Structure 1
Amino acid sequence: MRTTSANSMASLCHALPKPLFHGLAPFDGRRGIAGDREPPWFVLRHSNMTITVSPRRIAMAVLAIIALSATYLIGATRAVGTGVTTSTRAATISSTQPAAYPVSGSPGINVGGRAKVAGTPDTLRLDLSVVASATSVSEALASANRSASAVQKSLLGSGVQKKDLQTSGLNIAPEYDYSNNSLPRLKGYQVTESISARLRDLGRAGDAIGKAVSAGGNAIRVNGISLDLEDTGALVSSARDKAFADAKAKAEQYARAAGRSLGDVISISEDVTTPSPIPMPYGLDAASAKGMASVPIEAGSQDVSVSVTVLFEMR
């Protein structure tokens, strides 16, 4: 049995590279070393070094080489599998990203348009007040009420609608006498009633204001008037049409320059600007009432503007 194994080991050693195992020779079992239970079967001599090789050591070395090779192959297989999984996930994520353009895939062109339409003010806002003083609050209030009623009656008679006439304020304050450098002395009370009205017939507005001032007598105060453009529906509609046409003309020009054609409208946004009342302070009192009827009211014009932003498809 040992002779057969010895011959096999000798063949294995002769098959190994010569430079590494130079001097490998079979060891005679009959010349064993004392005290060894398992004497080596071969002796490896190289220069001044002698290595004894037993079957157990060779088997352990072969098993170690096999274990290292298996570990390396398993690690390489896992690395390749992980790389494939990562690539698959990356491809899945990129395929679910939203499109940068509309569903049709056509790029768009975003343009703005603007239009301004002039209109004539159709309403005059009148702000006036009556002031009355008396030694008591009740007397001052009664006097102010009489003057305010006369002014309101005059305005209604001049064609002002009741819905356009409003009592806009009431103030009651004490009055003091500061003469002779003495301590303030209460001398009575002052009542102020404010009235606002909308005059929609501008051709009769000047005459209506003059009559209202005359009706109020010395108690009247004209705080100011303003011109307003309230009926802006038709003007805004016209401005919208012109603003959109302006935006479309720009978009068509850009499309032609790019060698493309204009597609459908994707979105529209707008900004409408209507005029604010234009104040025209008069600051008139009863002393100026006589000339009020002859003062003409010039309405002038006010602008309504519309700005639009339109997103078109390009084909």
Structure 2
Amino acid sequence: MTDRARLQIVPALLAACLALLLALTLFAAYSLGSGGRSQAAVLAPAAASEATARTYGTITMTGTGEATGVPDQLSFTLSISRKADDVATAMDQATATMRRALGALAAKGVLRKDTRSTGLSIDPEYDYPSYGPPVLTGYRVRQTVSVLVRDLRDGGRAIAAAVRAGGNATRVSGIGLRIGDKDALLADAREAAVRAATAKAQQYADATGQPLGRVLTVKEGSVAARVPQPQLLTRAMGYLPTADTAALEALPIRAGRSDLSVRVTVVWALDGGE
């Protein structure tokens, strides 16, 4: 073999060796990757099988809890209406009258923070004769304040004092009863709702022979309150002559009771046991 022929064979051998080395490298990498995936594929069914052995689905139940309380507070809306020939005078008169009414409420123990301004209106008033255009007769100013009496026993006396101080310009409306510590009543209703849902879920779990597992989710649904209205104070709705305030002050206020209900939805896991 000539020197020129040997020189042509050597590059060909080197290229073949490099190709073989590259093929071996690729095969090794593929084997390692395939082995890792195979191991994960083997472990996954085992873990799933173990989880299935512990839990067999879920159970969802709703429960309603109720709690009863006695209203201990009274709220109402106090309005003062004054009319004058011009807006400034009507405003001054309404403001002075409202201050007297609020001062009377303060003397009966109503705190300043429990009175809140809720409205102000200024309206022209006209006289409409049979013939001719309307005639402006003045301007009426109305100021409105919401009032909270924290002790229900003082409710009648507070209303009477405000009406006496405001005179015929006073209007009382929106009388209602409230529970001061509503959060405590709501907490009792929530606990009762969870107990009701748990009792139903336990009954179904026992019937199917599957132990009731851990709680997965709890969701609160509707919250409803039924508060009685003070029927004996309906005389104070609208116009109340000053002469009647003594009778109003002596009126007993029957609080009745307030019912609050809460509805919850609870989801449990069903444990399969061993």
TM-score by length of 2: 0.72
Q: Which runs of 5+ in 1 are unaligned?
A: 1-91
What TM-score results when the alignment is normalised by the length of structure 1?
0.63
Contact 2:223 2:261 in 1 (8 A): yes
Residue 299 (structure 1) aligns with: 255
The partner residue of 2:116 within 163, 166, 172 is 166
Pick the aligned partner of 1:130 from 74, 80, 93.
80
Q: What does 1:1-315 align with in structure 2 at a 5 Å threshold?
A: 104-275=54-225, 282-287=236-241, 288-315=244-271
Whole-angstrom distance in 1 between the partners of 2:178 and 2:222 = 16
CA displacement, residues 109-160 of structure 1 (integer Å, 9 cap, x when unaligned): 2111111111122332110211111112222111111110011101111111
Letter in structure 2 aligned against 1:285: Y
Tell me how large the CA RMSD over aligned residues is: 2.7
Alignment-mate amino acid for residue 301 of structure 1: R
Deviation at 1:286, TM superposition (A): 4.1
Most deviating of 280-289 and 218-227: 280-289
Distance 2:152 2:268 in 1: 45
Deviations 1:155-198 (A, max 9, x none): 11111111111121111111222235332111211111111111
1:194-247 CA-partner distances (Å, limit 9, x unpaired): 111111110110111011100001111112311223522111211122111111
Distance 2:215 2:90 in 1: 67
Aligned length: 221
Is the 8 Å Cα contact of residues 228 and 258 (structure 2) preserved in structure 1?
no
Distance 2:196 2:117 in 1: 46
Higher helix share: 2
Asked whether the 8 Å contact 1:124–1:205 carries over to 2, the reply is yes
Q: 2 CA distance for matches of 1:245 and 1:206?
A: 40
Give the Å deviation of 1:278: 6.0
The CA deviation string for residues 230-276 of structure 1, in whole angstroms up to 9 with x for no partner, is 52211121112211111111121112211222222222112251437
Moved over 4 A (4+): 276-281
User: Which AA in structure 1 matches 2:75?
Assistant: R
Letter of the aligned partner of 1:300 in structure 2?
G
Larger radius of gyration: 1
Question: Secondary structure in 2 aligned to 1:183?
Answer: coil
Summarize the Cα distance change of 1:132–1:277 in structure 2 as closer, same or farther, 3 Å threshold: farther
Equivalent residues of 2:71, 2:179 under 8 A apart: yes
Secondary structure, aligned partner of 2:133: coil
CA distance in 2, matches of 1:125, 1:284: 15
- Which AA in structure 2 matches 1:268? V
Q: Is the 8 A contact 2:82 2:142 kept in 1?
A: yes
Identity across matched positions, percent = 36
Q: Counterpart of 1:308 in structure 2: which amino acid?
A: V
- Residue identity matched to 2:239: D
**Unpaired segments of 5 or more residues in structure 2?**
1-40
SS where residue 64 of structure 2 aligns? strand
